[in-house]
Every structure is written in C-alpha cells, then in structure tokens.
Amino acid sequence: MAMIKALYTQYFPASPTLTEKDVGSQVGKVFIITGSNTGVGFDLVKMLYPSGATIYMAGRSEERMKNAIQTITSVSPAPATPATLKYLPYDLADLSSVKSAAEIFLSQETRLDILWHNAGIGGGLGLTTKQNIEGHIGINCVAPLLFTELLLPRLTAAAKTNASSRIIWTSSAITEVKAPAGGISLSLIEKLASTDPFADYAGSKVGNYWLAAECARRYAKDGIISVAQNPGNVKSEFYRHQPGLMMVFVNPILYEPKMGAYTGLFAGFSNDITTTKNNGAYIWPWGVIVGGHSRKDIQEGIVNGRAGEFWEWCREKYVAYL
C-alpha cells in the first residue's frame, strides 16, 4: 500500500510551491548543472538565467551545449541581471573527463554554491564506461561522486560565506518497482551479468538516493546540504530508446520538462532544507519533502550501513583519479 501511495503521489503531484519568481538575485553565486543542454536541466538554466549567477552547463557535446546557451541568452527582453553561462566539457562515461572538468572549474572559480547532478543515462543493456564499469552505476553514481569529491574545496568555501552549499542528486520513481531486493545488486554489477536494463537503471537511482544521504551524513559539519530528488515523470531523452508501443501508454502521464525543473529549483532553494533540517531528504515532484523511501529495504540501506559501503565501493573505482 505504501508503494502504491508513493507512486500515485509522484505521478500526480500537486502544483509547485516554489517557482522561478521565488529565487531572487543570485549575483555572486556559482552553480553547476550537468546535462543541461536539453530537458529538465535546460529548463532549470532558463529559470535561473535572470538571477545573475554564474552557471556552468556541463555536458559532452560542445555544439549542443553552445546551441542551448545561445537559445537561452537570446531571450527578449533580456533580464536586468542575466546569468553568465559557461560550457564545461564533461563526459560521465570517462573518469578522466570528469577529473578534467573539475580541474577546469577549480582553476576558474573560488566557490561552488549548488551542484545539480542532473545528467545520467538509462535503459540500455550491456553498457559499460571507458573504465569498464557497468554503465548505469558508472555514469549515474561513480562519476558524479568523483566529481563531487573533487569539487569539495569549492563547496566548503561557499558554505563558509553563505551558511551552506548544496548538492542535488537525481533519483527516480522507478526505484519503487524495479530496484533489486536490497536496492542494489553489486554482485551482478561486478560481473556485468545483468539481463534487465531497467533493474540496472533503478539500482543506480537507489545509488543516487543513498549517496545523497551519505553525503549529508559526512559533510553536514562542513556546511554542505545534500538531498536526492525525483524530478518527476517528465518528457526526456531517457524515453527516446523505448519501444513505441510502450510509449503509447507512457506519453499521457508525462509532464513537460519545465515541471521537473521546479523540483530541482525547490531542492536547490527551499528554506525548509538546511544542514540540520531535512538534510539528506528525498524530494518528490514538484517540491515535496519526504522523510525516507517508501521501500523498507531501500531505506534500511541508509541505517544499516549499506549506503556507506556503496559509497566506498564507488570510491574504489575512481580513487586513481583523485
């Protein structure tokens, strides 16, 4: 019953309680939004463009990202305090690219106020990264955690002058129904032996949920807020490889990407989230704070130490790139 209620609430959410009108000036702030040339990330940048912040749009394709920047900056009339948009080369499938992206950022900025882990991959069977890590876990968990660790000096610097900084991890409602028992099957991941790409994707989204909670546990003392979000059931590139027959049933319950951006906006700016209040929480569409995951086996992973073990497992995969 809890799972059904959780799915219904996430699939049919109430109206957003925090929108771009509530953000206010962010002059002097620095943000990174990964995967922001399309979909939710693109709309999030659009919402933040009038804020005056410096926004790094991280992604693989320079052409697509620069086209996205051109589209956003061509808005008329121009905002009074437009953000500065910068392209950051960033390929989650290659840890050397992740390290390079962090080095570029570290050389240019002295602070990082909010890091949105928006980019990810889903749906393909047999995917592997350049370092031969199972694709979903490698791209959705290992690489973002490496990026986070490399950027910690700038996150802590921002927290010292602004009371806190934030990291937003992206989970999914698919964890409710497709994640393996216990949340993640590391044995299958290590063997590259899975036969269900949706279970692989769901497991990686459990990983994001666990990493958010573990990050909050480890770094709250440094002024860092870390939460997981399910942006919502929105139209995205995730669905481009799905069977047409399936999409006949899925399309009617998909929302525009802008709605998912409202979830990210809430996760990034809600005053109901602090280092001591709701840190490590799960954010449902379009800005609902929930205390934990509806699946007991997934939530117990945070309490019984599996989330910490998964963190260390990820770290072992990228320690050579620190």
Active site residues: 201, 205
Let me know how long the chain is.
322
DSSP state of 252: G
End-to-end CA distance of the chain: 44
Place of tokens 């602090």: 274
Cα distance between residue 162 and residue 322, in whole Å: 27
Question: Which amino acid appears at position 290 of this protein?
Answer: V
With beta carbons less than 8 A apart as the criterion, state whether 97 and 61 touch.
no
Round to whole Å and give the CA distance between 88 and 176.
33
- Residue 277: both structure tokens together: 């209040």
DSSP designation for 140: I
Query: Considering only CA atoms, which of 212, 182, 202 is closest in space to residue 289?
Result: 212
Give me the DSSP letters along 190-246.
HHT--S-HHHHHHHHHHHHHHHHHHHHHHHGGGTEEEEEE---SB--GGGGGS-HHH
* CA 153 – CA 165 distance, rounded (Å): 11
Q: Three-state SS across 17-38?
A: CCCHHHCCCCCCCEEEEECCCC
d(CA 229, CA 209): 8
- Residues 226 and 113: their CA atoms lie apart, in Å, by 12
Q: How crowded is residue 97: how many other Cβ atoms within 10 Å of its Cβ?
A: 17
Q: How far apart are CA 167 and CA 37, in angstroms?
A: 19
